Structure 1
Amino acid sequence: MLVYFSEVFKGHVPPYRHPEAPDRLDFLIEGAREAGADIKEPRMREDVWQLVESVHDRSYVELVRRLCRKGDVQIDGDTYVSAGTCDAAALAVSAVVDAVDRKETALVAARPPGHHAGFAGRALSAPSQGFCIFNTAAIGALYVGEGAAVVDIDVHHGNGTQEILYDRDLLYISTHQHPLTLYPGTGYPEEVGVGRGEGYNVNVPLPPRTGDDLYAKAVDEVVVPVLKQYGPRLIIISLGWDAHREDPLADMNLTLKSYLYVFDAVLRLQKPTIFLLEGGYNRGVIKRGTKALVRLVDAGEFAPGESQTSTDGHTAKRYEEVMREVKSHVGRYWRL
């Protein structure tokens, strides 16, 4: 498996103790190398800023670039800009677009993350940008154009990606912890898209403490059927490892088995698939998960190394209530 990585991505440096820090990539690359991945240094594209401005308001992009020249500036309570942020974010966009051009399965081991960044920074009703600068997943999807699909499995709803793609007939599917219980507070089933995009926005909010058993059910009953009917040309997976039960910033009960389950389901579609790092703040999970992902892609090895979790009765009841709501909205556009 090809992994795009550069030390430039570590130049986005927090001015204070922060969960989204450069050392996340050290653990990712360690896991990738143990699995035998091919590590590739991405190149900075000459058209990178035009690509960024194809998605984000120019005034927002210019603001970020000014802040980079200052260095060590907080955009909001969660999100910062350092002297190396612009180079890191621009190279992340370059890597995603190059991976699209190669039309093969790859992992873009880049930061800062992007799926909370909307047209002008904060997206929808979110109180902050959630550690994100430029929305690399949305930029990649719009670069692909017709037939692009984004599958977001970060524990937090990708409000920025939803905002950007909401009126476009490009598929966005998000599984995330229910917005009543977690930032950014968006991602309800009734948010289905508008105009040309109506029906192409699919939200699957899951109650806190949902286990592997019911996550697999959601993948089988919603994610896979919609993907198959859409027939994507290329799939971008916004990969957040923070839905894992050991992550410090969320409340799900998933193991690497859920991750491998959804990865395998997507890979079985036999379409170019780009895994793009978003969140995930337990360093051990990042390392183990990356290693398992590479082994799955390269050797078809389904080896989570963790026992499956089951959902307790109270949470299972809430899950069924939410899934009825999901199916009532999504089922208007797709056969479930």
Structure 2
Amino acid sequence: MIVYYSEVFKRHVPPYRHPEAPDRLDYLIEGVREAGGRVKEPKMREDVWQLIHLAHDKNYVNLINKLCEKGQGEIDGDTYVSPGTCEAAALAVSAVADAVEKRETALIAARPPGHHAGFMGRALTAPTQGFCIFNTAAIAALYVGEGAAVVDIDVHHGNGTQEILYDKDLLYISTHQHPATLYPGTGYPEEVGEGRGEGYNINIPLPPQVGDDVYIKVVDEVVIPLLRQYDPKVIVVSLGWDAHRDDPLADLNLSLKSYLYFFDQVLKMQKLTVVVLEGGYNRSVIKNGTEALLRLALRGEFAPKESATETAHSVYKHFETTMREVRQYAGRYWRL
């Protein structure tokens, strides 16, 4: 696994104290170095703005560019633009397109994140854009076209990715904290896609406080079976470290075991896999998780180095209700 990283990604700078700050990448790169990973400097592509327009309306892209030229601006209470935002966001798109083109299993260690950004920015019914500017994962899927799958393991539903891919026959799977309990309030099992995309949008909402036992069950019984049936040529992973039990912005109870189990199963499929950084706000989790991921990808080491978690009986009963709904809706289109 190659890590695409540039100091340019740190030029997206918050105008105030903000959880999605440049130092997140310092911890990530520390984890890469601890694992002995290789860092590759991405280069800006000449066609990057054409790629961005695959997913976003030109008026929205023009707005972001004008805010960058202005030097700063708030899109909403969560999401900001600084002088370096456009360069950082465009370079992230360049990096993911290059990884796909060169068929490199890669981690795109970029920011700002993207999975909450829809066609016009704010997506579906979300109150904000959730720190996101351009939807790198969705752009990658549209660039690949037929045979692209996006698996979103951020704790928040990727409402922007869902909106962009909803009428496309490209598989989108999202595991996330239940939308009744967390931003952005979307991502229910009945949201299955429309038109050509009907059946290709799979949401797996998880009750707060589910542990590793539940997440591994979801991977084994839903995520991997769906991927095998779809048989993708490229898997794009929207990686948020915020489903971890120590993240300050959410309420799942996962350890690094869940993350490593997911990646171990995906990498065993031997498909081109490109991982895009999304959320995750506990700096130690970012560092330790990245190190563990690289050790797994490079040397097959399955070493979460922290205790696994289990789900309380009362929470598990809520999960069983959710799984019945997932099977009810996704089972119309896939064998589960």
The TM-score with structure 2 as length reference comes to 0.99
Please state how far the C-alpha of 1:186 moved relative to its aligned partner: 0.2
- Report the AA paired with residue 308 of structure 2: Q
Measure the CA separation in 2 of the matches of 1:223 and 1:66.
Answer: 40
Q: In 2, are the aligned partners of 1:224 and 1:266 still within 8 Å (CA)?
A: yes
How big is the shift at 1:329? 0.5
- The answer for the alignment partner of 2:289 in structure 1 is 289
SS of corresponding position for 1:237: strand
Q: Distance in 2 between matches of 1:306 and 1:41?
A: 32
Q: Calculate the aligned-residue CA RMSD, in Å.
A: 0.5
Give CA-to-partner distance per residue, 1:130-154, whole Å, 9 cap, x none: 0000000000000000000000000
Counterpart code for 1:214: V
Partner Cα distance (1:253, 1:71) in 2: 39
**Residue 276 (structure 1) aligns with:** 276
Equivalent pair of 1:71/1:83 in contact (CA under 8 Å): yes
Partner of 1:172: 172
Q: Whole-Å Cα distance in 2 between the matches of residues 122 and 280 of structure 1?
A: 20
What is residue 84 of structure 1 aligned with on the other side? 84
Which residue number corresponds to residue 163 of structure 1? Answer: 163
Alignment of 1:313-324 (within 5 A): 313-324=313-324
Partner-residue secondary structure (3-state), 2:9: helix
Deviation at 1:102, TM superposition (A): 1.3
Q: Which residue of 2 aligns with 1:72?
A: 72
| Partner in structure 2 of residue 252 of structure 1 | 252
Q: Which residue of 1 aligns with 2:237?
A: 237
> Structure 1, residues 201-259: CA drift from partner, whole Å, max 9, x if none?
00000000000001100111110100000000000000000000000000000000000
For residues 43 and 12 of structure 1, the distance between their equivalents in structure 2, rounded to whole angstroms, comes to: 17
State how 1:126-205 maps to structure 2 within 5 Å. Answer: 126-205=126-205
Superposition deviation, residue 19 in structure 1: 0.1
- Matched residues, percent identical? 74
Distance in 2 (CA, whole Å) between partners of 1:272 and 1:33 is 23
Q: Secondary structure at the match of 2:202?
A: strand
Deviation at 1:45, TM superposition (A): 0.2
Query: Which structure 1 segments of 5+ residues have no match?
Result: none
Report if the CA contact (8 A) 1:72-1:80 is conserved: yes
One-letter amino acid of the structure 1 residue matched with residue 52 of structure 2 = V
Is the Cα contact below 8 Å between 1:14 and 1:72 reproduced in 2? no
Amino acid at match of 1:243: A
Residue 122 of structure 2 corresponds to: 122
Structure 2: how far apart are the matches of 1:54 and 1:107? 22
C-alpha deviation, 1:199, in angstroms = 0.5
For 2:173 and 2:266, the matched residues in 1 are separated by 12
Query: C-alpha separation between the residues in 1 aligned to 2:175 and 2:35?
Result: 27
Cα drift, residue 193 of structure 1: 0.3
Letter in 2 for 1:197: G
**Counterpart residue number, 1:104:** 104
Out of 49-58 and 158-167, give the one that drifted further: 49-58
In structure 2, C-alpha distance between the alignment counterparts of 1:17 and 1:59, rounded to whole Å: 29
The one-letter code sitting in structure 2 at the alignment partner of 1:186 is: T
Question: What letter matches 1:312 in structure 2?
Answer: A
The residue that corresponds to 1:11 in the other structure is 11
- Quote the offset at 1:308 in angstroms: 1.0
Contact 1:4 1:42 in 2 (8 A): yes
Q: Secondary structure at the match of 1:163?
A: helix
Match of 1:214 in 2: 214
Secondary structure at the counterpart of residue 173 of structure 2: strand
Number of residue pairs aligned between Structure 1 and Structure 2: 336
Q: Secondary structure at the match of 1:34?
A: helix
The residue number in structure 2 matching 1:23 is: 23
Structure 2 stretches of 5 or more lacking a match?
none
Amino acid at match of 1:52: I
User: What do residues 148-174 of structure 1 show as CA deviations (whole Å, max 9, x unaligned)?
Assistant: 000000000000000000000000000
User: How far has the Cα of 1:72 moved from its partner?
Assistant: 2.4
**Could you give the per-residue CA deviations for residues 99-132 of structure 1, whole angstroms, max 9, x where no partner exists?**
1011121100000000000000000000000000
CA distance in 2, matches of 1:86, 1:142: 20
